[in-house]
Amino acid sequence: MNEQYKSLFTNYTFKRGVELKNRVMMAPMTNFASDEQGKVTDAELDYYRERSGGVGAVITAVAYVTRDGKGFQNEISADSDEMIQSLKRLADTIKGEGAKAILQIFHAGRMAPKEELVGDQPVSASDVAALRPGAITPRELTNSEVETIIQAFGGATRRAIEAGFDGVEIHGANTYLIQQFFSPHSNRRNDKWGGSVESRMTFPLAVIETVKETVATHAREPFIIGYRISPEEMENPGITMEDTLTFVDVLADQDLDYLHISVQDFWQGSIRDEEDKESRVTLISKRVGDKVPIIGVGLLKTPDEVKEALDSGVPFVSLGRELIMEPKWVEKVQAGRESEIKTTVTKNDQEKLVVPDVLWSAIMNTPGWFPVEE
């Protein structure tokens, strides 16, 4: 290994006692590879097996906690005990290659696509449609439904524990239901779940509390609890950086193992104010990084770029597209073979890269998403 990359390979023990062998994780990425019931498939397991040997932890594609919260075609389910054996296959596959296995859990809320709806409408904090073409106006959740969904996050966490996962990541980012409750665009409620920025924290904090209680009750081994957050929204009204800094001050006191900052580019500034160039990741890290570890992500392609991100004070990075294009990214850096890391794909690479069919089709047919060589 090149000595300059030594910082990538120091171990780390989270507050709950789970130890990671290095500072690089696999980012959660939708792979559209479970079956229609939400059970993992052999193709999905092959995809994870290929990428779980080098990283310290794999954060899975998101799993829905209730059926009306399904957000993607062929998404993983964690909504019933029938799924425990399926989830166990996934956890065993990841852990069998040497990485810790973290199940990301969520509810899509108003972002549930029409073809995956249980009824005619998605549900959300309020009956406000997302600002996207073809968006369906959601139905506002009742108080009892809100409580049921909160408990469903606990149920999904228990299933993750029983399946042998090393942790869960609560997906509070990327415009899904938890973020919808925090956002002044999607949450126009005037009950205890909405209103001021503090009141809009009530739902995410209740989810965190339920997950923590579930872990305390059911986990017999150390178990990670992480939380993913998007710093800002483009909408007006929408989540501002001021809102988020207020929120992370509270999140830092919730006994979480980490905060995962979801942005397109680790170094990008504000998406609301083009004059504000400071990295959202490092801004949050400076604010609360002394209380809770931060995971940064976004366009970190080379070992030098990952090292620069870690040198900024963030203890972890997660890699997404990089591990699809180069499943052995970490192993090659560790072996001093970083010059061999692939940074593009060709249309003939699917079998070699072990990528499921629907994900591969999306990669090939979404211009600009991946660098595809002819």
Contact criterion met (CB below 8 Å) for 163 and 105: no
Contact criterion met (CB below 8 Å) for 39 and 46: no
The 8-class DSSP code of residue 116 comes to G
The dihedrals phi and psi of 58, each to the nearest 5 degrees, come to -110, 120
Contact criterion met (CB below 8 Å) for 363 and 320: no
Rounded Cα gap, residues 360 and 353, in angstroms: 10
Rounded Cα gap, residues 282 and 134, in angstroms: 35
In the structure encoding, which two tokens stand for residue 150, read together?
């909160």
The count of C-alpha atoms lying within 13 angstroms of the C-alpha of 96, restricted to the half-sphere facing its C-beta, is 11
- Give yes or no: 176 in active site: yes
Rounded Cα gap, residues 97 and 330, in angstroms: 13
- DSSP calls for 136-166: PPPEEPPHHHHHHHHHHHHHHHHHHHHHT-S
The count of C-alpha atoms lying within 13 angstroms of the C-alpha of 250, restricted to the half-sphere facing its C-beta, is 18
Torsion, CA 74, CA 75, CA 78, CA 79, rounded to 10: -70
Of 47, 48, 64, 176, which is the active-site residue? 176
Residues with catalytic roles: 176
